[in-house]
Structure 1
Amino acid sequence: MTPCYTANFVAPEVLKRQGYDEGCDIWSLGVLLYTMLAGFTPFANGPEDTPDDILSRIGSGRFTLKGGNWDTISDSAKELVSKMLHVDPHQRLTAMQVLKHPWIVHRDKLPNSQLQHQDPKLVKGAMAATYSALKSSVPTPHLKPIESSILAQRRVKKLPSTSL
């Protein structure tokens, strides 16, 4: 499997090369919802974060729902985000469960309040740190065409020539 992902939205199981299924998409939606509610990404706190810090947080599903905008966000929204970002894909909500979650079902009853915006430089720095962390992870090997392998070249030489 060749992992394909956007750095800030990658699920832990993709980083660990454990496979990819619809649970990875729920994880990515959870990251997006977290970012929309909090005003910053869940796993990078700022430009000073090391790649190991960020990858460790993603791999363990470590994030916070306290401080800043989280102080004004409902427990129902926090529960939804937490369940979408559950590190175990088997414990993570399914798409149908997300759609049936009370925070989504009763969205028309949500308060009309504006969230505080975080300093854009801090957000950009955190995103840059996340991309840096994922770029520094073990690179995927570059594979050459099979025809250029030594074994393939040997087999071509052993093929009987057919001449009329």
Structure 2
Amino acid sequence: EVEILLRHHNHPNIVSVRDVYENENLVYLVQEYLKGGELLDKIFREKFLSEREASNVMYVIANTLNYLHTNMVVHRDLKPSNILYADDSCAASSLRICDFGFAKQLRAENGLLMTPCYTANFVAPEVLKMQGYHAACDVWSLGVLMYTMLFGQTPFAVKPNESSEVVLSRIESGRLDLVNNNWNKISDSARDLLTNMLNPEPSKRCTASMILSHPWIKNRDQLSLKLLTNFLPQDINQTKNSVKATFRAVNSTTKIPILEPVECSTLAQRRVRAKSIVANQSKNEKEKNSPVNNSSLNKK
């Protein structure tokens, strides 16, 4: 996480790192203060959202994803709570993508990742099936975010009391809840992009670059300002509970990786072993060159 952030934190829509401190066991990141809060909380406060506003948000995030993917980095945990505003204006341009704890630098050989790290409602079907996956997962998560912005609910865990089996089955099959008052109100262009981003087949899913060239993004200044989503208090609670329901579904059937202490990581252990080897070599050299050893050799 530290290495990826230090390499890319100068991008205007990636959280910046002010300083890094570490001791024997822990690493501390000092990052910019994002006082505007989470993206969805801002939307909930305003209660209504238009296609143009949603498209402006999508443009900023897709543009940032395209930058990361071009640099062979995938985020792998692109949920709303990891997308925040830097200031109180809550302008789309002040959005920041945060929490790169699950981010991965892709291997250039095959471009696939074999270690599933995901978060509940924003997990792609191929991750659930424990298959290798790549940047298409971030696009899937962005599609879920777009759906939530336009419809005020998540596309899979619609009811908080749905069973884990139902939720998981829906995610794996890519079945969306299209029986929604707003589905027929949004433009054909929005529906086209949304279904492409949430395609359960990664190879058929659009890329971040394709999102940027899609008419719904390119012509965002011409999109309707008609307010779509009406976030009533009960809607807000249902949306939040919906996400929790998906968390429960995934947790009940799949072991979710946890972030272990830094010293337990493969890299940290490798460094410890390397230091130990160097230390032993140095010790051996000193013993070999010590006066005691030399005198004993001379006696022989």
TM (norm. structure 1) is: 0.81
- Secondary structure in 1 matching 2:183: helix
Contact 2:117/2:257 (8 A) holds in 1: no
- 1:98 match: 211
Aligned with 1:27 (options 126, 140, 143): 140
- 2:248 match: 132
Query: Which letter maps to 1:37?
Result: L
Deviations 1:63-103 (A, max 9, x none): 03342222311111011000000000000001111111111
Aligned with 1:63 (options 142, 166, 176): 176
- 1:158 match: none
Contact 1:13/1:19 (8 A) holds in 2: yes
Contact 1:46/1:126 (8 A) holds in 2: yes
Matched, 1:17 2:130: yes
- Secondary structure in 2 matching 1:8: helix
Structure 1 segments unaligned to the other structure (5+ residues): 146-164
Q: Judging by fraction of residues, say which structure has more strand.
A: 2
Rg: which structure is higher? 2
Residue correspondences, number: 148
Kindly report which structure 2 residues correspond to 1:35-46, keeping only aligned pairs within 5 A, or say none: 35-46=148-159
The alignment-based identity, stated in percent, is: 52
Bigger relative contact order (CA 8 A; separation at least 6): 1
TM (norm. structure 2) is: 0.46
Distance 1:23 1:140 in 2: 20
Contact 1:65/1:78 (8 A) holds in 2: no
Structure 2 segments unaligned to the other structure (5+ residues): 1-113, 259-263, 266-300
Query: Which letter maps to 1:3?
Result: P
- 1:117 match: 231
> Which segments of structure 1 move beyond 6 Å, counting only runs of 4 or more?
none
- 1:76 match: 189
Contact 2:124/2:141 (8 A) holds in 1: yes
Aligned alpha-carbon RMSD (Å): 2.4
- 1:148 match: none
Query: Which letter maps to 1:24?
Result: C
Distance 1:141 1:57 in 2: 22
